[in-house]
Amino acid sequence: MLQSGWLCVQCMATLPTQRRRGGATVVLRALARWATERGAAGLHLAVTEENAAAGEFYAGAGFTTAHRYSYWTLR
């Protein structure tokens, strides 16, 4: 979703059998190119701290932590 000059990448996932093959990199680069062509200032996304593999992937792609937040549930 492109909003207020930013592309928000949501719910990006890779099938376990397809991980570490470069597919996520191709998709993320294509999204960045698409957003840039439409005047986006940048991209942002959310990933849980428990998802270390995704965190490493996004850090390798140039993303840095901007904010931290907590999920709350009512049981």
CA triple 72-10-41, angle to 5 deg: 115
pLDDT of 65 > 90? The answer is yes
- Give the model's pLDDT for residue 71: 85
What is the rounded CA–CA span in Å between residue 49 and residue 20? Answer: 20
Helix (H) or strand (E) holding 66: none
- pTM equals 0.82
Whether the per-residue pLDDT at 1 is higher than 80: the answer is no
* Average pLDDT of the segment spanning 28-45: 94
Q: Give the tokens for residue 26.
A: 């191709």
Mean pLDDT score, 29-55: 93
Instruction: Identify the pLDDT of residue 35.
Output: 94
Cα gap 60→52, rounded to integer Å: 12
Please give the CATH number for the structural domain made up of 2-60. 3.40.630.30
Kindly list the domain boundaries of the chain, sorted by start residue. Answer: 2-60
